[in-house]
Amino acid sequence: MVGHNEADRHLREVLTHLVPLVDDIVYTDDASTDDTPDIFEEFGAHVYRNDTQLFTVDEGALRRGAWKNLENHIELGDWVLAIDCDEKLWATTPGKSLRELLKVQHYDVLAIKFYHMWNETHYRVDKAWRPVESSRLFRYFYGGQFQDRKLACGSEPTYVRTLIQRGRFLQNTGLIMQHLGYVRDEDKRAKYDRYMAIDGGDFHAKAHLESILDPNPELVEWK
């Protein structure tokens, strides 16, 4: 996990949900000025702190540093869940817990369907906000690299794409990710302003960034 100034958002809710699902949390703090790293320590995470914020200038460097920190706590073949401070993972297939799913022998990447919550009770389904399968759960292998990009370099190392191309990707797992980052209107505005300032369409489609502020998005109730 990486993050910056998450203390007053969804962090405690996310960590309370996450701790029973995982063996360890390895967190890289991107120069927070609030209590974010202290909250992670309270929940038993391994915490690493950057002296200066990297995300707004070089996300690739942030991801590479976080991966090096992870490597202090992991062994070959372990499972990695790349999750943000405003996301919650759920296993929805009856009788199939997360730990049961991780017993698979012939796959190295498990699909997680990703939902963007747009308020407390509904998620968004129009434009590029519709639920899609992600590859945020994967085995650890040596030599993980990240794209050398200022922004939008992905949460997973580049070898995950290679594993998918080789057929090591298990779909229809029943795993779903609930993204809470756009639940509050003030967060929508803040994300829009931040991405327009540091991206403006260079790394994400400008129309996609502008759609954050759509007045009438298509929503479906979360169940």
SS3 track for 86-127: CEEEEECCCCCCHHHHCCCCCCCEEEEEEEEECCCCEEECCH
Q: Does the structure show a pLDDT above 90 at 110?
A: yes
pLDDT at 67: 97
pLDDT at 123: 98
Angle at 183 between CA 87 and CA 156, to 5 degrees: 30
Read off the pLDDT of residues 7-65 as tens digits, 9 standing for 90 and up: 999 999 999 999 999 999 999 999 999 999 999 999 999 999 999 999 989 999 999 99
Spatial strand order of the sheet with 26-29 comes to 2-3, 26-29, 46-49
Q: Does the structure show a pLDDT above 90 at 192?
A: yes
